Structure 1
């Protein structure tokens, strides 16, 4: 019997211990869940960056078109071929242009001959006119005859002037024909690579705007310098400056990271469609020549630009900073027409939450740079965010045992 009682006693004691442990465990968890998370204000480096997508472009990209219409007789290059400035690209049918130039030459010759004939007639009329004046003075010519001779002289001078203008017009027309004939043979304006060949032999080349079918025959790109042209949101472009460091990844080349720097920031948007609030930013790329040679204009790219960096900054977690709407009284004191918002942080002090107004600077994905309002080591509440937004100044709070930083280090160790 004693043995049985002893066993019962031991079993009951063990059950009691289990209940106590479970009670502590679940009770502790409930207390921990109801407490506020927190972290301490500390120091560290902060890098502020912006990310944006775009495409790879060459330093210079030229659309090759024509200013004369005609059938394409020959294409002398292939897509992807490297060319030098002056290399022959395309030959357009010249027969019609040659015939027009022959007609223009004939018109020039006819105009010159006509001008020579009228010049001789003018000289005869001008040279004879002093004799008619003498005859009139001597009373040997009537006033009417003299008037007729004078009109004839003036008419001869005007006819010759018109003939000279006709010669100039014919010569200008001939030069235009010669220019058109020369442009029927297209040559490379720059040294580069044919990055898009859009024409075929036998098609009709059409002069005009580059967005018309047949107007752009090919594209030549200067591949000596590759760039990423990205589109940055209006809220971030104000922080983008020429000379800032950037890193670019290209979707077609996974694992490759290209270093770069900002060389141009657009001052206006294109105001079209979804791009209305996006600004073009150009980033020149650096790297090994063999890697850069793998890039092609039009490839999708993503850039991360370092806009600002502070070493050893006093910093506060992002989730600790809340926004509070100011009062009308404060706005009036500051000369504002409407209340301005301010940043606040709830600091833990003597078991209570104390509201502090803070001034923050740059930010990354974890921290704000703290410029004013807190000191290193201050404990700031970080969550839960819903409860934190409703928390009042001087309210009593309980903190979780470990800070956010300690929990993060524990997770990193387990990994």
Structure 2
């Protein structure tokens, strides 16, 4: 049997639990309704300051255009060193890349037999000179005796013939000596120009064939550009005209002078060979690739500030103002020809107004 105190406590617990549950539910509803969040006084926020965009009026400008023509560098002064003799090579004193001066010895050939020929010819000259002196003295003496009527006309004519024969023999001996000396000089091959050795095609001990190339040289100061230019452009060029030459390998441009225009067209390509001289450049070598910029008239070009062109992937567009409203228009963009400007190839016309954001 329960006591009165226990019954009273049980009744109190049964009444408090529902009340606490109700209070918790009310607090949760109030929290979800935002009753515990900070409140903002009703009113309007101050609008952010707007940046007014600027406009740019499209205007094309005339500009000279050039046509790039593929070309190659060549040397105006280039030579092949070869022998006039059939002889064994004794020495080769240079290699590819060496710099030589005109007259420097490049190659020497064996010349013992040629030296002997020179000595023999020299002795022959000495013998003929002695004979010539004797014949001259005899002719002088015979002339004096003939004047004194001591010798006959026959003796005078004979001494004269001997004198003339010795004179002719002396001349022939001297010519033989000169020829032998010239032939001996062929055994020493010298540089015909100031230049640089391109390649060497033989080694000491090889037999030099007459006419076979042994070395090749070129003058670095005589480099020029040669290009085949289509006839429509070639006919507009003149000798002495300055044109731009691009050298992609060394990333450099030079101003060249039209030195020669071959006055005959290539029947296959209908082009003319143009030769353009270049100032000396240490890095240039024969055979290098170049581009010649040939003037090809004028064209109207449009330039826009870079910030006025937007990009979506590989597409480019600008905001064009038409009747007070902006419209998106796609354009073709070229290279950056000027600082902070890009070239517009197509999509815009003179007078178009472009919206440029700040």
Per-residue Cα deviation, 1:332-366 (whole angstroms, up to 9, x for no partner):
xxxxxxxxxxxxxxxxxxxxxxxxxxxxxxxxxxx
The alignment status of 1:99 with 2:116, answered yes or no, reads: yes
| Structure 2, unaligned runs of 5 or more | 1-58, 302-345, 353-358
Say if 2:263 is the partner of 1:268: yes
How many pairs align?
249
Q: What is the match of residue 285 of structure 2? A: 296
Q: CA deviation at 1:98?
A: 0.4
Match of residue 13 from structure 1: none
Matches within 5 A, 1:156-175: 156-175=159-178
CA contact (8 A) 1:125 1:153 kept: yes
Aligned to 1:25: none
Q: In the alignment, is the contact (CA less than 8 A) between 2:233 and 2:294 conserved in 1?
A: no
Partner of 1:18: none
Runs of 4+ in 1 over 4 A off after TM superposition: 271-277, 307-312
The verdict on how the C-alpha distance between 1:275 and 1:219 changes in structure 2, with shifts beyond 3 A counting, is farther
The Cα of 1:275 is off from its aligned counterpart by 7.8
SS in 1 for 2:61: strand
Question: CA 1:272 to 1:116, structure 2 compared with 1: closer, same or farther past 3 Å?
Answer: farther
Instruction: Supply the RMSD in Å over aligned alpha carbons.
Output: 3.5
C-alpha distance in structure 2 between counterparts of 1:56 and 1:196, whole Å: 17
Per-residue CA deviation, residues 213-241 of structure 1 (Å, 9 max, x unaligned), is x1x32122222454222233444322122
How do residues 114-125 of structure 1 correspond to structure 2 at under 5 angstroms? 114-125=131-142
Judge conservation of contact 2:90–2:204 (CA < 8 Å) in 1: yes
* Whole-Å separation in 1 of the counterparts to 2:160 and 2:66: 78
Residue segments in structure 1 that go unaligned for 5+ positions in a row: 1-41, 136-145, 209-213, 287-291, 313-403, 410-415
- 1:239 aligned to 232, 236, 243, which one? 236
Q: How does 1:99-248 map to 2 (within 5 A)?
A: 99-132=116-149, 149-208=152-211, 214=212, 216-224=213-221, 226-241=223-238, 242-248=240-246
Per-residue CA shift, 1:135-159, capped at 9, x if unaligned? Answer: 8xxxxxxxxxx8xx21331232133
124 and 303 in structure 1: CA distance in 2 versus 1, 3 angstrom threshold: same
Q: How far is 1:78 from its partner? A: 0.9
2:81 to 64, 69, 75: 64
Determine which of 270, 279, 282 is the counterpart of 2:273. Answer: 279
Provide closer, same or farther for how the CA distance between residues 112 and 190 of structure 1 changes in structure 2, counting only shifts above 3 A.
Answer: same
Distance in 1 between residues matched to 2:185 and 2:140, nearest whole Å: 40
Separation (CA, whole Å) in 2 of partners of 1:203 and 1:272: 41
Distance 2:69 2:117 in 1: 54
Could you tell which deviates more after superposition, 166-175 or 65-74?
Answer: 65-74
- 3-state SS in 2 of match to 1:190: coil
Q: Is the 8 A contact 1:233 1:279 kept in 2?
A: no
Tell me, yes or no, if the aligned pair for 2:222 and 2:277 is still in contact at 8 Å.
Answer: no
Q: Which residue of 2 aligns with 1:306?
A: 295
Give yes or no for contact 2:89–2:208 (8 Å, CA) kept in 1.
yes
Alpha-carbon distance in 1 for matches of 2:198, 2:156: 66
Cα deviation digits, residues 185-212 of structure 1 (max 9, x gap)? 223343331112223223333455xxxx
CA distance 1:280–1:131, change in 2 (3 Å)? same
TM-score (norm 1): 0.51
